[in-house]
Amino acid sequence: MDQLQPCTYYHIFNHANGDEALFREPENYRYFLQQYYKHINGIADTYAYCLMRNHFHLLVRLETAEAITAHLPGFKNLAGVAASNLLSKQFSNFFNGYSKAFNKKYERRGSLFLENFTKKAILQKDYLAAVILYIHLNQVKHGFTQHPAHWNVSSFHNFHVERLPVLKALYENSENYFRLHEGKINSYAEYDNLERYLLN
């Protein structure tokens, strides 16, 4: 399923090109999120995210066909949107726009991101619960911090408040939500198993 589909959860991620950094200073993170919501809010709801120096992870749920076609001018039905692959193009336009602004600011040239961003559809409840944990702990895994609570550019801090219905459906309560995060932090073997499950 190459094309993004309405009413579907996706794990979306990408990495900087080579040894580049996507974010060199705090203002880059702020600008990335500002432009992200400007481009994506009308077509997808963002449930979880984590931005790191050289890559990022997002968990989104695409809006309904009606909401998407209302937001994208010139398309009267979903078939038109899907046929043009316009949903993926919305994400690509955002990444390209960020790259251009980044290149101008730092007087660099060339591609900032890897050419194609990865998008994995999430169709099962346990997979969705695992993706949220994986995203919130990715900065720990890569050694940017020792605990997700210490990383500002992540949805870890607000997920249990802003996404309470989803939290209850997936983890039952906030205590389990935090306990599962702590368990993965304390066991790298568990996190490695989670990564293999999600990315292979």
Q: Which two tokens stand for residue 114?
A: 């890897």
80-88 mean pLDDT: 63
Of 123, 149, 179, the last residue of a domain is 123
| pLDDT recorded at residue 83 | 45
Q: 199 pLDDT band (50/70/90 cuts)?
A: confident
| pLDDT recorded at residue 53 | 95
Of 93, 123, 153, the last residue of a domain is 123
- How many domains does the chain fold into? 2
Contact present, 40 and 60 (Cβ < 8 Å) = yes
Domain containing 7 equals 1-123
161 and 103, same structural domain? Answer: no
- Does the pLDDT value for residue 56 go beyond 60? yes
Of 123, 140, 169, the last residue of a domain is 123
| pLDDT recorded at residue 20 | 92
**SS3 at position 7:** coil
pLDDT in tens, 143-194: 999 999 999 999 999 999 999 999 999 999 999 999 999 988 877 667 667 7
pLDDT in tens, 113-154: 988 899 999 999 999 999 999 999 999 988 999 999 999 999
106 and 45, same structural domain? Answer: yes
115 and 170, same structural domain? Answer: no
73 and 162, same structural domain? Answer: no
129 and 78, same structural domain? Answer: no
**Tokens 């169709």 — which residue?**
123
Rounded to whole angstroms, the Cα distance separating 51 from 125 reads 24
Q: 133: exposed, middle or buried (C-beta count within 10 Å: 0-12, 13-18, 19+)?
A: buried
Q: Which two tokens stand for residue 20?
A: 């580049």
